[in-house]
Amino acid sequence: MTHKHFIPAILWFLGILVLLCLPGSAIPKYPWLAIIHADKWIHIFLFCILGILLNHPLRYSRYSSGQKKQWMIWVMAGGILYGITMEFVQKWWIPNRSFEIKDILADSLGCGMAYLIAYGKGWQKVV
C-alpha cells in the first residue's frame, strides 16, 4: 500500500469539500428533485464512493486481516465525522446552506455501505 493508491480518494475528498461548500444560490432548485430526495441520494453516493476509495488500497496491503478490518472501521468513522463536520461548516460559514440531520444520516449510510462493500469483497483478508 503506497501513497499513490490514495490519490483517487484524496481527489474525491476534495471534490466533496468543494461541492459541500458551494453557496446555496449555486445549487439548482427543481421541485422534482425535492420529491425524489435527490440531495440525500447524492450524499449517500458521495460518501459511499469516498469510503470505497479509502478502503481500496487495502487490496495491496500486507496488513493482517484484523488490521484491515480496523482500518475499514476507522474509514467509516472518519467519513461519518467528515459528514457531521461539513454540516456544521454549512450551517455557520456557507451562505444559504443549513445543518440537516438527514444529510448526516445519508452520509453515514454511504459510509456504512462502503464498509459493507469492502468487507464483502474480502479486502480485509490477507493477500
d(CA 101, CA 54) in angstroms, rounded, equals 24
d(CA 10, CA 27) in angstroms, rounded, equals 23
- Please count the structural domains in the chain: 1
Q: For residue 13, what are the contacts with CB-CB under 8 A and spacing of at least 6?
A: 50, 82
Average pLDDT, the chain: 92
Instruction: Give the tens place of pLDDT for each residue, 75-94.
Output: 999 999 999 999 999 999 99
The set of cell numbers assigned to 15 is 471534490
Q: Residue 54 falls within a domain, yes or no?
A: yes
Q: List the domain range (segments joined by +) for residue 105.
A: 29-120
Q: Residue 125 falls within a domain, yes or no?
A: no
Q: Residue 16 falls within a domain, yes or no?
A: no
For residues 31 and 23, the model is more confident at 23
Instruction: Give the tens place of pLDDT for each residue, 62-78.
Output: 999 999 999 999 999 99
Q: For residue 70, what are the contacts with CB-CB under 8 A and spacing of at least 6?
A: none
Q: Name the CA dihedral angle for 119, 9, 64, 72, rounded to a multiple of 10 degrees.
A: -40
Q: Residue 44 falls within a domain, yes or no?
A: yes
Max CA pair span of the chain: 49
Q: Residue 40 falls within a domain, yes or no?
A: yes
Q: Is the dihedral of CA 49, 52, 57, 59 positive or negative?
A: negative
Q: Residue 127 falls within a domain, yes or no?
A: no
Q: Residue 89 falls within a domain, yes or no?
A: yes
